[in-house]
Structure 1
Amino acid sequence: MKLVKTFGRGRVAADALIESLERRGLVTTSRVEPLVRKILSAVRKSGDRALLKYATELDGLTTGERLLVSREEMKSAWDSTAPKLQAAMMVARGNILAFAEAQLPPEWNISPAAGVKTGQIVRPLGSVGCYVPGGRYPLPSTLLMTVTPAQVAGVERIVVCSPKPAKETMAAAWLAGVTEFYRVGGAQAIGALAYGTATIGRVDKIVGPGNLYVTAAKMLVSSECGIDMPAGPTEIVVTSETGKAAGIAADLVAQAEHDPEALAVFITSNEALAKAVSLEVKARAKNNTIAKQALAAQGCIFVTATVQEAHQLTNRLAPEHLSIDTSADLKWVRNAGSVFVGEYAPQSMGDYISGPNHVLPTGRAGRVRGGLSVLDFVKVITVQQYTHTGLRQLGPHAITLAEAEGLKGHAKSVQVKMK
């Protein structure tokens, strides 16, 4: 990891590095867009024929293998899963379920004037597609993280797509009660979910992480199908003054092993701690090839002049995962996907078991939204109800505003009902 001081002679280099990290949200999918557009167009035009072609060429679908993963296959996967892993999945699902239930927005109404009621009702989306990557590692946790809050929201139709789904992912699908699961991935899966084919019906919204091709496809279909967020490589920032070097380094290495392009940053004004973390990271990443690559390319340690500067820099970076020293630090946190407090809260717990979602904003999207939640699967619909008395009380004000805007029809529609 690069160790850079943000003051003194290191200031110029630090400023340039920080600016480059801030621009990471501007990284585009232009490199893969031509191919992604071609795949999406083919799926839209030719449906299953194109879907099967790309699933065979890119997802390794074998001749005669069905796109639909049957419930029997899911049950077989579950039955052949070790009891220890079954238990872990059940605990994880229970915690995700409880957290999503607590997140559900309430229905309510108020009375801003006599005879007037305003409020909101909450309704689930009709259908969603949950994308579960199937590349470097099996990700049963992502299946649970995407499917479970949709179920809590009351979504009627939930579709899972995953290329070459691992046994563990199919086992998680059985546990979650998934009934529509297709062994297809990449841009072709996103196209099928957005446009629909004879086999895979279109959905209202697509959620879940994916590679650059999946991200590009989600962005391209977002004009006619809802998406959660573009997802980039994993990010971790640890901001600490008093943490233990071993624990900080372990978190940095853990998130870095997700992807050679993962971002890992440590921020502190404690120079001695910075140097200790640097040595620990080097030792712990020694035999972890992917983490070693990520830390060499995108690993940074910033030593700031003050604690306040460390806090400001953290919010500028708006990381996906953020670790801080104590709950008192929460007061200065403004931009982050998920926050982990104290030395006994490794970020890996959030990846698997805590309950808050691990599908989180990357590329500084943490400035404008949080992670995937039950809120992504519901619509908050506003409601307004008037009695004649209420209309006569507030109506004149509406008429005044309508006339000020020159919208005579608006004014008349109120006047007619006030009589």
Structure 2
Amino acid sequence: MKLVRTFGRSKAAAYALIDTLERRGAVNTARVEPVVSRILADVRKTGDRALRKYANQFDGLTTEQPLQISREEMKAAWNSTKPELQAAMMVARGNILAFAEAQMPQEWMISPAAGVKAGQIVRPLGSVGCYVPGGRYPLPSTLLMTVTPAQVAGVERIVVCSPKPARETMAAAWLAGVNEFYRVGGAQAIGAMAYGTSTIQPVDKIVGPGNLYVTAAKVVVSGHCGIDMTAGPTEIVVTSETGHAPGIAADLVAQAEHDPDTLAVLITSNESLAKDVATEIKARMRHNSIAKKSLSTQGCIFVTATVREAQQLTNRLAPEHLTVDSPKDLKWIRNAGSVFVGEYAPQSMGDYVTGPNHVLPTGRVGRVRGGLSVMDFVKVITVQQYTRQGLKQMGPHAIALAEAEGLMGHAESVRVKTR
């Protein structure tokens, strides 16, 4: 993990590196788009036949295995799950549920003038597709994170797709009450949920993380149905002046083990802390091959001249996960997916059980949105209501604006209702 000072003789090189990180983007899907486009076209044309072909090719699905996983199979997976894991899943689901309920937007109405009412109503999406990766690790936590807020929002139909779903993932589906769960992954799963097949009916929106092919497919179908966000490799930034070096190093290693392309960064003006963390990293990544590769190639410790510079650099990077020292730091944070405060808030807790969602924006998308939430599964619809007197009072202002824009039909639509 390289250590770079943003001042002195290394200042120019440090800021060149920062510029590169700032331009990283969510994910570069260009190199896989031709393959993804072919898969999507195949799914759109041949439906289930394409799903089975790719499931057999990439995931080893046999002809005897149905695409849809039954509730009985999910129940069997739950019953064969160790009690301590069942308990952990129930705690996680309960906290995700409570957090989503607190996030739910409210309906309201105001009266900007006598006889005029304006407000909003909140309605759930009709159907959503939740993609749950099933590659390097089983991810029952992602199933809970995507399905639960959709349920809180009131979505009527929730579809889950996952390649080679592990027993733990099927157990989580049983706990969450999932009714539609398919052994389908990759770009073909995104195509099935977007376009529909004879087995999988199309959905209004697709959410959830995935590999480069899944992300590219979401981009392609985004003109056909809604998507949450594009997701690149995991990102972690720790911005600290007084942190505990072993704890910081452990967080960096934990997130780095997700993917060899994980971006892992420590930002501090405390050079002693920087050196201590670098030493801890070397020891902790020794027996974690994925984290070792990630931290060796993507890991970086920035030592800044001032605390203010460290804060500014953090906001420039807009990281997926951000750890800071104390609640006071929340005042300067502008761009981040999810924030962890203090040395007793490991980022792994957010991955599993705290309640906030772990499907988070990467590639500086944290500049414009936060993580997946109940808001991704609802529509906020505005409402306007007038009495005749209210229209007489406010109407002349609308007529003046309409005539200024040359839209005489707009002006007349107001006049005719007040004559």
TM-score of the two chains, using structure 2 as the length reference: 0.99
**Which residue pairs with 1:60 in the alignment?**
60
Question: Distance in 2 between the 1:61 and 1:400 partners?
Answer: 66
- Give deviations 1:349-387, integer Å, cap 9, x for gaps: 000000000000000000000000000000000000000
Counterpart in 2 of 1:339?
339
- For residues 27 and 183 of structure 1, the distance between their equivalents in structure 2, rounded to whole angstroms, comes to 26
Tell whether 2:298 aligns with 1:289: no
Separation in 1 of the partners of 2:141 and 2:393? 54
Task: Give the 3-state SS of the residue equivalent to 1:128 in structure 2.
Answer: strand
Give the gaps of 5 or more residues in structure 2.
Answer: none
Partner residue, 2:140:
140
Identity %: 80
Whole-angstrom distance in 2 between the partners of 1:63 and 1:282 = 47
- Tell me by how many angstroms 1:26 deviates: 6.1
Deviation at 1:59, TM superposition (A): 2.1
Q: Which amino acid aligns with 1:12?
A: A
Partner Cα distance (2:261, 2:304) in 1 = 25
Aligned partner of 1:178 in structure 2 is 178
Alignment partners' CA distance in 1, 2:269 and 2:10: 14
Structure 1 residue aligned with 2:350: 350
Task: Show the counterpart of 1:408.
Answer: 408
The residue type equivalent to 1:59 in the other structure is D
Separation in structure 1 between the aligned mates of residue 358 and residue 298 of structure 2, nearest angstrom? 21
Q: Which amino acid aligns with 1:322?
A: L
Partner of 1:240: 240
One-letter amino acid matched to 2:10: G
Distance 1:4 1:13 in 2: 8
Q: Deviations over 1:108-147 (max 9, x none)?
A: 0000000000000000000000000000000000000000
In the alignment, the residues of structure 1 paired with residue 36 and residue 55 of structure 2 have an alpha-carbon distance, to the nearest angstrom, of 14
The residue aligned with 1:47 is 47
Matched, 1:20 2:20: yes
Partner amino acid, structure 1, of 2:75: K
| SS state at 1:382 partner | strand
For 1:24 and 1:64, locate their aligned partners in 2 and report how far apart those are by CA, in whole Å: 44
1:101 aligned residue: 101
Q: Is the 8 A contact 2:26 2:365 kept in 1?
A: no
| TM-score, normalised via structure 1 length | 0.99
What pairs with 1:263-412 in structure 2 (closer than 5 Å)?
Answer: 263-412=263-412
Q: What is the CA-CA distance between 1:27 and the residue it aligns to?
A: 4.3
1:65-80 equivalence runs, <5 A? 65-80=65-80
Residue 86 of structure 2 is matched in structure 1 by: 86
Unaligned ranges ≥5, structure 1: none
Q: What is the number of residues matched between the two proteins?
A: 419
Q: Which residue of 1 aligns with 2:128?
A: 128
Matching residue's letter, 1:136: R
CA distance in 1, matches of 2:168, 2:13: 45
Give the match for residue 225 of structure 2: 225
Are the counterparts in 1 of residues 26 and 232 from structure 2 also a CA contact under 8 Å?
Answer: no
CA distance in 2, matches of 1:24, 1:297: 15
* Matches of 2:165 and 2:174, distance apart in 1: 13
CA distance in 1, matches of 2:263, 2:132: 21
Please say if 1:261 is aligned against 2:261: yes
Q: Which amino acid aligns with 1:17?
A: L
* Off by >2 Å, runs of 4+ in structure 1: none
After superposition, the CA RMSD in angstroms is 0.6
Q: Deviations over 1:52-101 (max 9, x none)?
A: 11111112211211100000110000000000000000000000000000
